[in-house]
Amino acid sequence: MFTVYQILDRKSGIEIVRVEDLCPEAFSLHNETYSGARTPSDWIWEYKCCFPSLSVFTVVRDRGRIVGTQGMLPIYLSIGGKKHLTGKSENTLLEKSYRGRGLFRDLYSHAITACKERGMCCVWGFTSAPAATSALRNKLGFSIYDKVIQTYGLLLAPTLPPEIKRLKRSGLVYATLQAVALVSYLYCFVCRRLLSPKRDMTHDKFVIEEKIRSADDIGELYERLRLQHPDMIHITQDAPYIAWRITNNPNIKYRTYLLFEGKLLRAYCYLNVDKERVARLTDFTAEDKTSAAVLAGYVINVLSAQKVGFLLFMGNMRNPLIHDIVHLLKRYGFLKLPVLKTNFVLNNLSCEEPLYDVSKWYMNGLWTEGYQW
C-alpha cells in the first residue's frame, strides 16, 4: 500500500501529498487537460495490478483540490544481465496556473524519494515537452537524450495516418501532406513488391503461432540476444509482466505472433489494431535476420489482407538491434515520420551498472504506458 506523506508550504498554502488511493480528481485533471476519457479502473490497472506495493503516485493539492500528479510505474529491467527494479515516469501533470512556482521540482522530488524507498535503482521516461525536458535536466539532474525515440510508418492505404491528421495544419499544408501520402503509398507498394525480402526454403523450418507458449521462451530468447549484445538493457518479460502488460491489458487487445524453430523461439511481435485501422508494432524482436524477415513478411501480409491502413513502429534508433529492425522494415516500405519523435530521460538513483550509453537501451513501443502502443 502507498504510505501517506503530507508537507505544508505555509507561504502558499499548498500541500504535497503522496496518496494511498488514486483520487477521482486526478483522473478528472488528466482528462480535462488531454481531452481523455480515463477512469479510475484504468489507473488501478496501471498502478495496482502489477507489483502494487512498489508503485508510486504523488499529487499536489491546493486546499484539497488536486492540481498536479506524478506517477512511477515499477518496471523490472535486465541491466548487465541482472534484474533491477526501476521506475517509469508517468502522468506528469501540473495545472498551467501553478507552473513556475517550483512545484514541479517538489512534486517530482517526492516521487523520486518514494522510488528510492522502494529500491528502484533508476527513473526513466519519455517526453517531448520542452518545459518538462528543461526542468528535468536543469532542476532534477536528469540526463536527456534528445529525439532518440523515432516512429516509422508503412502506408497500406493512400491516406494520412491519424497522428498526422490530428496535428493542426493549414489547408495548403494539409493538401500537400495528402499528396505526399499518396506518393508514399505508391512507394510502399513498390517496396513490398520489389524490394522486400523474399521467402526462400528456409521458412519451411519455422512455425508461426498466435499464442504465447511460455514466458520462459521469451526469456531464453533474450539470453541468446545478450550473448551477441552483453550490455543490452531490456524489459524483463516474466510471467507477471506479460500477464499485466499484454495478456490482461484492459485497454488494448494485443495480437501475438511467435516464430518457432522447433522448440526455440526465434522471433516474436506484439501488435494491436485500433478503431481507425492503425496497427502498432508494440514489440518486434528477432534473433537473426532470416527470422525477422519471415515474421515481418507474414505480419504485413496478414494486416494488408485485413485492410489495415497503417502500420507503425517506434524505437530507440541508437540501439543496434532496433537499427537492424528498422533497416529491415524500410525494405518493406516503412518511412520515417519526423514529427513523431520524443526524448528519453534518465536519472540514475543507485545503479552500479553502466546506464548512460543510450545505445544499450533496447526500447520500443512496449516501453510506453500501454494505452496506445
Q: Render pLDDT for 160-219 as a digit per residue (tens, 0 to 9).
A: 666 666 665 556 766 776 666 667 767 666 766 665 665 544 567 899 999 999 999 999
Mean pLDDT value of segment 64-69: 84
pLDDT at residue 155 in the model: 86
Q: Which three cell numbers stand for residue 132?
A: 518538462
Provide the CATH topology of domain 5-120. Aminopeptidase (3.40.630)
Predicted confidence band at 113 (pLDDT cuts at 50, 70, 90)?
very high
CA-nearest of 272, 373, 310, 372 to 181 is 310
Would you tell me which CATH number, out of the four given (3.40.630.30, 3.40.50.300, 3.40.309.10, 3.40.50.720), belongs to the domain 149-342? 3.40.630.30
Distances (CA, A) of 154 to 65, 298, 317, 335, 359: 45, 15, 17, 6, 25
Report the DSSP beta bridge partners of residue 335.
Answer: 153
**97-106, 112-121, 244-253, 289-298: least confidently modelled range:** 97-106
Global confidence as pTM: 0.88
CB distance 24 to 40 below 8 Å: yes
Fold match between domain 5-120 and domain 149-342: yes
Q: Domain spans of the chain?
A: 5-120, 149-342
* Measured CA angle at 71 (ends 166, 237), to 5 deg: 85
Q: Name the residue among 127, 57, 110, 121 with its Cα closest to residue 86.
A: 121
